Chain A
Amino acid sequence: AQKITQTQPGMFVQEKEAVTLDCTYDTSDQSYGLFWYKQPSSGEMIFLIYQGSYDEQNATEGRYSLNFQKARKSANLVISASQLGDSAMYFCAMREGNTGNQFYFGTGTSLTVIP
Chain B
Amino acid sequence: GAGVSQSPSNKVTEKGKDVELRCDPISGHTALYWYRQSLGQGLEFLIYFQGNSAPDKSGLPSDRFSAERTGGSVSTLTIQRTQQEDSAVYLCASSPRGALGNTIYFGEGSWLTVV
A43 at the interface (CB under 8 A from B): yes
Closest chain B residue to A100, Cβ basis: B50
| Known contacts A43-B108, A44-B106, A101-B50; A31/B42 CB under 8 A | no
A40 at the interface (CB under 8 A from B): no
- A94 CB, nearest partner CB in chain B, Å: 10
A33 touches B97 (CB 8 A): no
Q: Mark A40-51, 1 if CB is under 8 A from B, else 0.
A: 000111010010
Chain A residues contacting B50 (CB-CB under 8 Å) are 100-101
Q: Kindly identify, within residues 11 to 60 of chain B, every residue whose CB is under 8 Å from any CB belonging to chain A.
A: 30-31, 33, 35, 40-43, 45, 48, 50, 56
A105 touches B31 (CB 8 A): no
- Complex alpha-carbon distance, A47 and B109, angstroms: 16
Q: Mark A50-63, 1 if CB is under 8 A from B, else 0.
A: 10100000000000
- A95 CB, nearest partner CB in chain B, Å: 6
B89 touches A43 (CB 8 A): yes
Number of B residues near A (Cβ < 8 Å) is 25
Q: Which size class do A's interface residues fall under?
A: 20 to 34
A105 touches B95 (CB 8 A): no
A12 at the interface (CB under 8 A from B): no
- A104 CB, nearest partner CB in chain B, Å: 7
B42 touches A91 (CB 8 A): yes
Q: Kindly identify, within residues 92 to 115 of chain A, every residue whose CB is under 8 Å from any CB belonging to chain B.
A: 95, 97, 100-108, 110
B79 at the interface (CB under 8 A from A): no
A residues in contact (CB < 8 Å) with B? 31-33, 35, 43-45, 47, 50, 52, 91, 95, 97, 100-108, 110
Cβ contacts A to B, 16 pairs, < 8 Å: A31-B100, A32-B100, A33-B101, A35-B103, A43-B108, A45-B106, A91-B42, A101-B48, A101-B95, A101-B104, A102-B56, A103-B33, A103-B95, A104-B45, A107-B41, A108-B41
